[in-house]
Structure formats: C-alpha cells, structure tokens
Structure 1
C-alpha cells in the first residue's frame, strides 16, 4: 500500500511531486473537485483498482489534500481540505497547457472541470 512520506527535497516541485506525481492521485483530486466524495464515486469514475484507490486515498489524506470523515470505519466521505482546494489553479494551468500542446489542432479539449 502506498503511504505518504514527506519529501526532504529542497525543491518545491520535488516536494509536490511526492504527493501529486502519481497519475491516480491527480485524477482522484480532479474527481474530488468534480464532486466525488465516496469511495464508490471514485470507483465509478476511474478505471483504478480497489487496492490502488484505497492506497491513493490514504496517501492524499495523510498528505493533507483530502479529509476523511469519519477518520475510521465504513461509508466515509473524502473531501478536499483547504490545501486541496488551493490546487484548483494548478489544475487549471495543467489543463491549459495540455489543451495547447497535447490535442490535435481543431480538436478542442473539454474544460478540466467538465471532464
């Protein structure tokens, strides 16, 4: 299971990559912005295995990006923390860069918050 170990990198990008450098972590945060709150919501929206989703949710909670309510037990809600909500402009910038560089000309991308 993936767990969060804070980076000791002197580089802020290096530290952020410890939390967000995983494909599933980024997509889980995106889905949280789009309203997913329960484990089942994330499972329905992503093609991730249950084990991977469990470990990534745990890591994002440990890193302070998501909050789990209640902290233990079943039927938890996963909500963005203040630190998680602060990632919104980062996701906007990633979407803008991707739209400009990773889509064929004439094929406009969807907005990241409408995926």
Structure 2
C-alpha cells in the first residue's frame, strides 16, 4: 500500500462516490505548481492507463495512482477533518520537507516541481 486513508476520510469518500457514475475510482497524485513546487491532486476518475497507473484498494476505496507519483506520496495519510467552518481532506506526507503557509503546496528532497509566485 503506497498511502493510507483513515476511516473518517474513507467514509467521506464513500459518500461522495454515491454521486459519481458507476466505476469511478479515487485518483490521488501530485502535480507541479504552488509556491513550494508541488500540489496534491485528489478527485474521481474512470480512466486507468495500465502502463502509467497502479490500482489499489485502500480502506475499501478503489484508488488510482500514477506510478511516477508513488515514491513522492509513499507513506502519506489522507484524513478528513471537520470543524465549525466545515470540513475538508487533510494530507500528511512524511516526504514533504517544506510546505506552503497556505498548506496547498509542498516540496520534497527529490527536486521535482517548479515553485510559482504566491
């Protein structure tokens, strides 16, 4: 398993999947951008490229991960936190050495991604 999804986050994802078409999978990965160079991508996807993607079942959720992203997100935990302002997913990545003050971007020691101005 490349990363983990807490029970709370899994419950939230399962509720959201009820609104998606049959066959949807959670896609988690990274993309270039943000003031630290990388940002997370989390959404639903119906397409899987067998050469580029890996598919796992994590805490009852079908998940698609780009194989190139796997080393950067290895050991990451996705949680869902609720507060008085609402709720949202939180991502704890042990590979992130720097995170943006807004919490939406990060950098690892792998030297990937190009920082952008905030």
Which TM-score band applies after superposition, normalised by the shorter structure? under 0.3
Higher fraction of strand? 2
Comparing both chains, which one has the higher relative contact order based on Cα–Cα distances under 8 Å and sequence gaps of 6 or more? 2
Higher fraction of helix? 1
